[in-house]
Amino acid sequence: MSDWLSQVFADAVQKSFEKGERLFHTGDDILNVFLVQGGQIDLVRVTPSGNEIVLISASQGSVLAEASVYSEVYHCDAIARSQTTVAQLGTNVFKDRLASNRAWAENWAASLAHSVQRARLNTEVRSLKKVSDRFDFWISVNSSSYPDRQIKDIAAEIGVSPEALYRELAKRRHTTKQS
């Protein structure tokens, strides 16, 4: 976790969430900023057909739904994918702290720029037509976290059904055995 974030959240309220528990829902008023201290939280949108699309998976050291600091309501759900602990700080307190410390404000701006880059990367992955291409691209970017992730979570991140990703993995295993 960044030292500057530790300082900003030094006196924040600690909250724990069980796997599957929601921190917030689409349409909830934004009152707090959350810093993930342990575990994993996915920001999720649900399509009209009921499929979940994972926008971002946030882990230790990540500020959750950072763009929401400048909105009135959340535009997605936040779901704990494991036992998770967050530090919770009022949005106005967070903004006041940034306004009072130029270094923190500059670090925050850099963090937001990095989030835009991640969002563009996610868009690039989802623009690929074939499941194999999406998965290959995802692996090239996330190779270190692959063994720790569940297939259904990866499928949601790349915008395919778990069944489609399982079929792709089965094809790869079959091809590997034939080699």
Q: Exposed, middle or buried by CB within 10 Å (0-12, 13-18, 19+), for 126?
A: middle
pLDDT band at 122 (very low <50, low <70, confident <90, very high): confident
Taking only the tens place, the pLDDT of each residue in 140-173 is 887 766 666 788 888 888 888 889 999 999 988 8
Task: Kindly report which listed range (14-18, 22-26, 42-46) carries the lowest average pLDDT score.
Answer: 42-46
- pLDDT beyond 90 at 27: yes
SS3 string of 157-168?
A: HHCCCHHHHHHH
Taking only the tens place, the pLDDT of each residue in 85-98 is 999 999 999 999 99
Which pLDDT belongs to residue 114? Answer: 86
Residue with token string 């739904």: 65
- pLDDT beyond 80 at 62: yes
Which SS3 state, helix, strand or coil, does residue 124 take?
helix
Tokens of 17: 């969430």
> How far is Cα 51 from Cα 157, in angstroms, rounded to an integer?
12
Element (H, E) at 16: strand 13-17
Enumerate the β-bridge partners of residue 42. Answer: 57, 79
Q: Which residues contact 78 (CB under 8 A, 6 or more apart)?
A: 22, 23, 24, 34, 41, 42, 43, 44, 64, 65
